[in-house]
Amino acid sequence: MRSVVGRPRTIPALPAALAAAAVLTALAAPAEARRGRHHHHASGGGYNPPYAAMVVDVKSGKTLHAVNEDALRHPASITKVMTLYMLFEQMERGKFALDSDLTISAHAAAQAPSKLGLRPGQTITVEDAIKAIVTKSANDVACAIGENIAGSEERFAQMMTAKAHALGMSRTQYANASGLPDPDQLTTARDLTVLARAIQDRFPHYYRYFQTRSFAFRGRVIGNHNHLLGNVQGVDGIKTGYTRDSGFNLMTAAKSDGRQIVAIVLGGKSGASRDRIMADLVRSSLPRAFAGARQAPPVTEVAERARPAVVADAVSRTRTQVASADDEDVETTGTTGEPLDIMPSRTTTTPGGTWKPGPQGASQSLPKAAQAYAGTSSAQAPFPGASKTAARMASTERDEPPKAVTGTRVVPTAWVIQLGAMDDEAKARSMLSEARAKAGGSLSKAAPYTVKVEHGGTTLYRARFSGFAEQDSAQDACTALKRSGFSCFATRS
């Protein structure tokens, strides 16, 4: 992960496992509030973020609205919902209390606005930190939370990514605790609906802080940026966000008449436009939500056995931190200079041959402790390589010939479906068998196979289905798999 120039002071850390991060997918970038096939490119001085949205009925688990829900987006300050999730978890374990002090480091104090403006060496109580995140969206406080939990913001981001994947947020990766611009800070509308439900399911006592309208801090009264609180019936949280790269984002939860929904809007053109869209979604979706007893299970973490091997990357990068903020407190805005890459990079596997990098020398390599991985509903989704991210890597992969699951030799067709890459071939085979059993007719003519991949000294096994001559047929089969609870992507063989 890239860090701010000048290494931050390290605070004694809680033990944390190195997490897997994700790789960019190829995106279709439709216009705001509708599906389409037109790509948006950087123009007029900045990346024009495409719109994405999703509404989920909490009690039934059904999707009530979805637009570009699986396309990668920058979360901006919605990142801080995961930051607080991590803090709440440490409080639940007795590591912190509401009156515990968090120390502000020089690194935390140097964060770009929005911020409280705390100086190095000062402290803030955990409860005030929570309120500062919910209302002010304070980047200095978010960074301090991460450092006090993990010892450094970098390590905390790895923990956040691991937690996201454990919750089933398979396409999310974090590079920092605040949501400040970073090309590797990525999520989807679907993943954020998972987080919105998870934080309520796991921490109902602490979730009430997201209803805070304002709080007093050292002579100042700080108001909440979420203008839907108190203005749209049923809305009880939870978080806004904005950077130039992300557009205007909003995560919302609402309850009314025994019904409960979570809703995500990403890439709004303005704060007011985003708020109008969200208000309309809440008003139209709540009456259609299920009012009976909850049928959908609470969001829980996946079993340890479902987690794949981690492929570490020690590449060191630096960046100058620019931009930040929430829509009502934009003191400076900026861009990473690296908008989401909407064109896929490709690799070729030749049966009986060896994979060779393309003319750019960029393999389908995995950045920053990344993995290619997907699986059942309790596993994580993969990302096809993205050219800009992959080009930053110096590692290479070697693919061995495809190995059929059924014993019959498989020659990959023009298009294939990949469910993931596991650290054990038996796991990859099991994943393919389960997917075929659940997907029914959509995979009746598909041939399951595995591909052994050597990456940076680590062996992974790609789980794939062949049998698709056209992209559309592969995408249709992948869509059917997703309805059965699997994550997947279509790619050229």
pLDDT digits (tens, 9 = 90+) for 132-167: 999 999 999 999 999 999 999 999 999 999 999 999
Reported as a single tens digit per residue, the pLDDT across 359-406 is: 333 333 333 332 332 333 333 333 333 333 333 333 334 555 666 665
Whether the CB-CB separation of 167 and 187 falls below 8 Å is answered with no
Question: Cα separation of 226 and 223, whole Å?
Answer: 9
pTM for this prediction = 0.58
Query: How many alpha carbons fall within 13 Å on the CB side of residue 163?
Result: 25
- Residue 224, helix vs strand vs coil: coil
Reported as a single tens digit per residue, the pLDDT across 195-245 is: 999 999 999 999 999 988 888 888 888 877 777 877 888 898 789 889 988
Average pLDDT along the chain: 74
DSSP 43-112: BTTB--PPPEEEEEETTT--EEEEESTTS-B--GGGHHHHHHHHHHHHHHTTS--TT-EEEPPHHHHTPP
pLDDT attached to residue 27: 33
- Amino acid at the residue 459: T
